Amino acid sequence: MKLVMVVALLLAVSTAQAQRVYKCVGKGGALSYQSDPCETGVASKTWFAMPEPAPSDAQLRARRAAQVRAQAESQELAARAGRGPGYSGNGPQGASIPLGGAACADARAKRDAWLKSPQGRDAGIDGRRAWHDYVWNACK
């Protein structure tokens, strides 16, 4: 009698961990996965599923340590790239160049007048480049 009880108890304990899963195809081809038999009586697939064991305390600590290391590394790389914790990555990048006011406008007017003159129309790339550099220096 004791042997029957022990065998029954072992069977009950071992099947409590595994659960039968039914893959059912419903109306319109909708798929559902459930632990109860399909309503239509025909399952497209059945199998026993063993749930994953809960992670141990050591595994949880290791996961948390890995997350902390990854976050610290990410912050270090962001700092090296010149992007602090508040950097979103969106928006314009580069430096803004404020216009130099009257000096900039005067340099542009001189350049435009020179380019419209006969000397400016016949000028080569070096002459044009010199005037563009003059305007750039006045406007930076």
Inter-residue contact 99 to 107 (CB < 8 Å): no
Q: Which amino acid type is present at position 52? A: E
Start-to-end Cα distance in the chain: 99
Dig out the tokens for 2 from the structure.
């004791």
pLDDT tens digits in sequence order for the chain, 140 residues long: 565 555 555 555 554 567 888 888 877 788 888 888 888 766 778 878 888 889 999 999 999 999 999 999 988 888 787 766 655 566 556 655 555 578 888 889 999 998 898 888 888 888 889 989 999 988 88
Q: What is the pLDDT of residue 15?
A: 47
Please give the tally of structural domains in the chain.
Answer: 2
List the domain range (segments joined by +) for residue 130: 102-139
Position 108 in a domain? yes
Q: What is the pLDDT of residue 26?
A: 78
Q: What is the pLDDT of residue 30?
A: 82
Position 86 in a domain? no
**Which distant-in-sequence residues (6+ apart) come within 8 Å of 140 by Cβ?**
97, 100
Position 43 in a domain? yes
Q: How far apart are CA 21 and CA 54, in angstroms?
A: 20
Exposure letters 29-42 (e unless 16+ CB within 10 A, then b):
eeeeeeeeebeeee
**Which distant-in-sequence residues (6+ apart) come within 8 Å of 31 by Cβ?**
23, 24, 25
Inter-residue contact 49 to 21 (CB < 8 Å): yes
Position 55 in a domain? no
Q: What is the pLDDT of residue 60?
A: 94
Position 61 in a domain? no
Q: What is the pLDDT of residue 51?
A: 81
Q: What is the pTM of this model?
A: 0.32
Position 92 in a domain? no
